[in-house]
Amino acid sequence: MSQITREQLEALTREQLTFAKAYNFVIEKLAEHEAWIRLPANGEFLRPGGTISGPAMMALADYTVYAAVLATIGPVELAVTTSLNINFLHKPAPGDLVAKARLIKLGKRLAVGDVPIYAVDDDTMVAHATATYSIPPHREVTP
Amino acid sequence: MSQITREQLEALTREQLTFAKAYNFVIEKLAEHEAWIRLPANGEFLRPGGTISGPAMMALADYTVYAAVLATIGPVELAVTTSLNINFLHKPAPGDLVAKARLIKLGKRLAVGDVPIYAVDDDTMVAHATATYSIPPHREVTP
Amino acid sequence: MSQITREQLEALTREQLTFAKAYNFVIEKLAEHEAWIRLPANGEFLRPGGTISGPAMMALADYTVYAAVLATIGPVELAVTTSLNINFLHKPAPGDLVAKARLIKLGKRLAVGDVPIYAVDDDTMVAHATATYSIPPHREVTP
Amino acid sequence: MSQITREQLEALTREQLTFAKAYNFVIEKLAEHEAWIRLPANGEFLRPGGTISGPAMMALADYTVYAAVLATIGPVELAVTTSLNINFLHKPAPGDLVAKARLIKLGKRLAVGDVPIYAVDDDTMVAHATATYSIPPHREVTP
């Protein structure tokens, strides 16, 4: 069961994660240790040759791990990314992408998420990221 | 000497790198194996606690290595990022950031850039990235 | 079906990959896009606190992706690692480890492998790596 | 000034870091936020084509950041690597390698080191790594 509702995450995103709001991320799934987020196709992010931009995929990966962390430990606003690694695998055809984050570590201080990103239309894995979040020592939970 | 002028890179960015245009990146330096790009402070990218967002820094790192590649081999539109790794080091105070990319490898097929990112005001290194670009086998140079 | 037999990979390892030979890696599985390699428990690699050393796990991850590449395209001796990223997740209890590599990209020039590493005894994921190999343009296959 | 002497680090390595002992690492420099470690040329680590093996360079990078952490905060045995990223840049000619680690972050909980690796003979940067260490909350210092 997710420790944060879709509505809570949407409100938090609207108020505080302005970059995520700009990308129009759609929350597809929130569960313990897991989150799926969709990036709607959007001309704004196209690169030469029509590929969705790397930066859009990096933002998607980062946000999806953030969502998985919050889904697991509740709305900890001060969780921050400490590192992110991404491999771009295949040039996606135009269309929506979906990132599927799974937490492979959830310690007292660090959480690590594994995040394959797929093209929604043909299910190709177009990128693969891992991201580490630092979790504040005293978790201040916003109701 | 740079193989691409500031004006050429600005035109390329305006026409084709819409994500970079959205960030209002400012070209500070273009030289062989090197590029400096400034990210102007911008409320849109703030996270809870006032930190410039990780995704904005990732986009900055990616674009700065792209600029360094083009400054070295000329305007190769089809150079694409194959991987990027970033460590977030210190929460920047509000203010502009500048990324300083240096190519540490420029092979026939791959270029690797090392990119520390600094807060302009106090010169703190706030993040450090490395990014790899794939260079197309037959470089089609746009005049 | 694997494009290299266990005996071929063992011979190649014995003759040319002296580091892998030193770790006594055991080939558990070779298949298209996939390889499983076991690292036998070995006092030589213990760190303070009894954890298997990070470097041993990095060598294991690297070798396992190499095995997956060879299992897929045949015995290409000149495939070389271009980058590797690893996250250490949980301190393994003493005992064997097994790395399970899956190729998530196999292009003409680059192959990318995703490699979770597990403790054999309790199936905990103790580390997670991704590694990129460069594949030579003219594949010279050794019979 | 280093918070650990060369003799202390050598003793610690001999007793507890058996992998580092096997590589015959030579301590070249220990200073605040900095360490230089040399990897003597050694046939054991050669790959097909004569390149020093990737795993040997990864072990070197990891150990050099560890040395830089200990040089800065004293002999904290329980500092452990949480992640490492490496790019292999140029195939080194046979000969010694030297890694030059500099800590780009030293927080209460995490330290991040930047580690270019050079061929000693011709000063080429042959690889570049970053490694993150977790520092235990209660530092138990061994005299």
Q: Quote the minimal CA–CA distance from A123 to chain B in Å.
A: 20
CA A8 to chain B, closest CA, distance in angstroms equals 15
d(CA D99, CA D120): 10
Per-residue pLDDT band for D110 (boundaries 50, 70, 90) equals very high
Lowest mean pLDDT segment, chosen from A3-7, A10-14, B136-140, C6-10: B136-140
Count up the domains in chain C and report the number: 1
Domain-located, residue D127: yes
Q: Mean pLDDT for chain A?
A: 88
Domain with A66, as residue range(s), is 6-134
- Give phi and psi for C132, each to the nearest 5: -110, 130
Q: Mark out chain A residues that contact chain C at CB-CB < 8 A.
A: 85, 87, 89-90, 104-105, 112, 114, 116, 125, 128, 130, 132
User: What is the separation of C-alpha A28 from the centre of its chain, rounded to a whole number of angstroms?
Assistant: 11
Q: What is the pLDDT of residue A140?
A: 44
Checking if the pLDDT of D142 tops 70, the result is no
A40 within domain boundaries? yes
pLDDT of residue C44: 57
Residue C1 in any domain: the answer is: no
Instruction: Give chains near D: 3+ CB pairs under 8 A.
Output: A, B, C
* Average pLDDT across chain C, whole number: 88
Whether B143 is covered by a domain: the verdict is no
Considering only CA atoms, which of A62, A71, A76, A68 is closest in space to residue A5? A71
* CB-based contacts of B11, cutoff 8 Å, min separation 6: none
Within 13 Å and on the Cβ side, how many CA atoms surround A63?
36
Q: Which of B83, B85, B109 is facing C109, going by the closest CB pair? A: B109
B41-B42-B47 Cα angle (round to 5): 100
Is the alpha carbon torsion for D37, D133, B86, A61 positive or negative? positive
- Quick one: what percent of chain C has pLDDT higher than 90? 64
Does a structural domain hold residue B69?
yes
Q: How confident is the model at residue D138 (pLDDT cuts 50, 70, 90)?
A: low
| D20 Cα distance to chain centroid | 9
Residues in A closer than 8 angstroms to D83, CB to CB, are: 83, 132
Distance from chain centroid for Cα D14: 15
Of C87, C105, C125, the CB nearest to A89: C105
Mean per-residue pLDDT, D26-38: 97
Q: What is the mean pLDDT of residues A73-97?
A: 90
What is the separation of C-alpha A138 from the centre of its chain, rounded to a whole number of angstroms? 23
Examine the pLDDT at B5 and tell me if it is beyond 50.
yes
From residue A128, how far is each of A60, B17, B19, D11, D141 by CA, in Å?
11, 22, 20, 41, 40
Instruction: Spell out which residues of chain C touch residue D54, defining contact as CB-CB under 8 Å.
Output: 62, 80-81, 84
Tokens 């990959």 — which residue? C17
Q: Which residues of C touch B83 (CB under 8 A)?
A: 83, 132
Query: Would residue C139 count as lying in a domain?
Result: no
Q: Is the pLDDT of residue B47 over 60?
A: no
- What does the pLDDT look like over A99-111, one tens digit per residue? 999 999 999 999 9
Q: Are B19 and A55 in contact (CB under 8 A)?
A: yes
Mean pLDDT across D69-87: 91
Give the residue, C100 or B44, on which the prediction is more confident.
Answer: C100
Q: Which chains touch B (3 or more CB pairs under 8 A)?
A: A, C, D
CATH number at residue C123: 3.10.129.10
Helices (H), chain D: 6-16, 18-22, 54-73
Residues B24, C119: Cα–Cα separation, whole Å: 48
Q: Cβ contacts of residue B135 below 8 Å, gap of 6+?
A: B69, B73, B76, B79, B107, B108, B109, B110, B111
Q: Distance from C52 to chain A by nearest Cα, in Å? A: 18
pLDDT at B143: 41
Min distance A42 CA to chain B CA atoms (Å)? 11
* Alpha carbon distance D130, D116 (integer Å): 8
Q: Is residue C69 part of a domain?
A: yes
What pLDDT does residue D143 have? 41
pLDDT of amino acid B15: 82
The answer to whether the beta carbons of residues A131 and A83 sit under 8 Å apart is yes
CA closest to D19 among chain C residues: C45
Q: What is the predicted pLDDT for the residue at C142?
A: 46
pLDDT at A136: 80
pLDDT of residue A93: 84
pLDDT of amino acid D141: 45
pLDDT at A79: 86
Taking a C-beta distance cutoff of 8 angstroms, is the pair A97, A55 a contact? no
Mean pLDDT of chain B: 88
Cα A92 to Cα A25, A35, C32: the distances in Å are: 17, 21, 23
Mean pLDDT of D74-98: 90
- Closest by Cα among D33, D30, D34, D27 to D10: D27
pLDDT of res. C23: 85
Per mean pLDDT, which range of A17-21, B67-71, C78-82 is the poorest?
Answer: A17-21
The answer to whether the CB atoms of B59 and A59 lie below 8 A apart is yes
Closest CA to A56 of A25, A80, A35, A11: A25
ipTM: 0.91
A139 located within any domain: no
Q: In Å, how far is C106's CA from the nearest CA of chain B?
A: 13
How confident is the model over A72-89, as a mean pLDDT?
91
3-class secondary structure, B15: helix
Contact C134 B110 (CB under 8 A): yes
Task: Select the more confidently predicted residue: C93 or B2.
Answer: B2
pLDDT digits (tens, 9 = 90+) for C40-95: 886 555 555 556 789 999 999 999 999 999 999 998 767 899 999 999 999 888 88
- pLDDT on residue A98: 97
Of the ranges A109-113, C20-24, C99-103, D133-137, which one carries the lowest mean pLDDT score?
C20-24
SS3 for B101? strand
